């Protein structure tokens, strides 16, 4: 198979982990006889430094010309205490999502058996947990109008949804539920928000086409509680952009560490595959970041964008074997991990490669 892959490492540890993800894809191509070509492009703070623009036109052109995008992370602590900065790394990420029409963000939360002890949640509540989140990604308060008014003394953002936006993500979630446990939880705040009431109306409407799927509604506050109380009660979850952002980060604890979680953003055209974790500047450059989220993002890319199931499975098996062999990065090590089994980013990558 011939495919053109764009590598977009972005900021912070995005650089370090994406390098490992790419190596894994190269190894798979060699092993399975695919012809993958690669290009690289800038986004986020890295792009601002180089061009002044968090999503340069050149990057966007390359993105649209690629068959899939392996993405790192964006963000920079420089902006943390400067809320008034006009140009910000995250603008590049949001613009990419909008421009590529990436309205569905899939975040599978699956615990590798070996990491049962790495989570802060009790192992007996976790074993077997397997959740698939569908986070809407191109609407909500992320893209509504925002403004300072009243001489700068008041600020607002607009949380907004249209029916067609809810419908298309709901259909994707119902479709996925049909291939899994046939249970779908829709999360909103319909007891307060009008946009949530529209959300719920549409989900109830779409549900009529999926009589076999058991649909449940939860308010976002209750969902945030239930997720840690009883993670095995969840199968597929569909929710808006903001609630999905919060709940999936929280759910990362179910998988032991944010460093384990991959995501796929799909929609109208090229898919983007990216770790859930951010740029993590506190550990950038130290070579300790967990590359597995990027490696598993590559696996999602092969599966979802290219339909290469066996190749995708081979990566997951290699990750599993590496964990079974006892190798850990710092974030997923526990009190019983021997010091010499705790590897840095590159060494962990080498272990995966050696098992492919």
Ligand X SMILES: CC(C)[C@H](C(=O)O)[C@@H](O)C(=O)O
Binding residues for Mg(2+): 221, 245, 249
Query: Based on the number of CB atoms within 10 Å of its own CB, is 44 exposed (0-12), middle (13-18) or buried (19 or more)?
Result: buried
From 12, 75, 139, 275, residue interacting with ligand X (rule: CB under 6 A) = 75
CB of 322 to a second copy, least distance (A): 23
Residue among 242, 164, 166, 159 nearest 203 (CA): 166
245 binds ligand X (CB under 6 A): yes
Closest-approach residue to ligand X (CB): 90
**3-state DSSP assignment of residue 196:** helix
Instruction: Return the number of the residue (75 or 256) whose C-beta is nearest ligand X.
Output: 75
The stretch near a second copy (CB under 8 A) out of 24-32, 53-61, 143-151, 305-313 is 143-151
From 18, 138, 252, 312, residue interacting with a second copy (rule: CB under 8 A) = 252
From 50, 192, 310, 347, residue interacting with ligand X (rule: CB under 6 A) = 192
The stretch near a second copy (CB under 8 A) out of 45-53, 61-69, 227-235, 341-349 is 227-235
d(CA 344, CA 313): 24
Binding residues for a second copy restricted to 84-103, rule: CB under 8 A:
84, 88, 90, 94
221 binds ligand X (CB under 6 A): yes
273 is catalytic: no
Instruction: Return the number of the residue (178 or 193) whose C-beta is nearest a second copy.
Output: 193
164 is catalytic: no
249 is catalytic: yes
Chain-centroid distance, C-alpha 95: 16
Residue count of the chain: 356
Task: Using the Cα atoms of residue 184, residue 188, residue 191 and residue 197 in order, give the sign of their dihedral.
Answer: negative
Contact partner at residue 122 from ligand X, a second copy, none, CB < 5 to 8 Å by partner kind: a second copy
Instruction: Return the number of the residue (44 or 291) whose C-beta is nearest ligand X.
Output: 44
d(CA 347, CA 144): 43
- The per-residue DSSP string of 299-350 comes to HHHHHHTT--HHHHHHHHHHHHHHHHTT-B-GGG--TTS-GGGB--HHHHHH
From 39, 80, 221, 334, the catalytic residue: 221
Say which residues have a Cβ less than 8 Å from residue 5's Cβ, sequence separation at least 6: 25, 36, 37, 38, 39, 66, 67, 68, 69, 70, 301
Q: Which of the residues are catalytic?
A: 142, 189, 221, 245, 249
Binding residues for ligand X, rule: CB under 6 A, are 74-75, 90, 93, 191-192, 221, 245, 278
């Amino acid at each position: 198979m011939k495919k053109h892959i764009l590598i977009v490492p972005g900021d912070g540890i995005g650089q370090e982990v994406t390098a490992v993800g790419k190596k894994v894809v190269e190894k798979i191509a060699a092993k399975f006889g695919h012809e993958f070509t690669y290009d690289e492009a800038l986004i986020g703070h890295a792009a601002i430094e180089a061009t002044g623009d968090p999503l340069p036109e050149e990057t966007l052109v390359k993105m649209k010309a690629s068959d899939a995008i392996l993405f790192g992370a964006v963000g920079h602590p420089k902006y943390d205490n400067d809320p008034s900065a006009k140009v910000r790394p995250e603008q590049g990420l949001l613009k990419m999502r909008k421009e590529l029409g990436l309205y569905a963000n899939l975040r599978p939360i699956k615990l590798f058996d070996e990491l049962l002890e790495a989570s802060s949640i009790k192992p007996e509540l976790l074993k077997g947990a397997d959740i698939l989140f569908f986070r809407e990604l191109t609407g909500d308060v992320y893209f509504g109008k925002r403004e300072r008014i009243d001489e700068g003394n008041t600020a607002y953002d607009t949380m907004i949804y249209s029916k067609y936006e809810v419908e298309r993500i709901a259909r994707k979630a119902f479709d996925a539920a049909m291939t899994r446990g046939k249970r779908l939880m829709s999360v909103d705040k319909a007891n307060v928000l009008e946009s949530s009431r529209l959300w719920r109306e549409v989900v109830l409407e779409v549900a009529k086409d999926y009589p076999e799927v058991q649909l449940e509604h939860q308010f976002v506050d209750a969902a945030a509680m239930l997720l840690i109380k009883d993670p095995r009660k969840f199968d597929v979850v569909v929710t808006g952009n903001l609630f999905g952002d919060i709940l999936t980060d929280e759910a990362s604890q179910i998988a032991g560490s944010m460093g384990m979680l991959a995501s796929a953003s799909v929609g109208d055209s090229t898919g983007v595959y990216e770790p859930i974790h951010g740029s993590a500047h506190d550990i950038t450059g130290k070579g300790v970041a967990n590359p597995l989220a990027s490696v598993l993002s590559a696996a999602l890319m092969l599966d979802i964008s290219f339909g290469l199931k066996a190749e995708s499975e081979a990566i997951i098996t290699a990750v599993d074997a590496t964990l079974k062999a006892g190798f850990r990065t710092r974030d997923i090590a526990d009190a019983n991990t021997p010091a010499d089994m705790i590897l840095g980013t590159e060494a962990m990558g080498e272990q995966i490669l050696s098992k492919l």
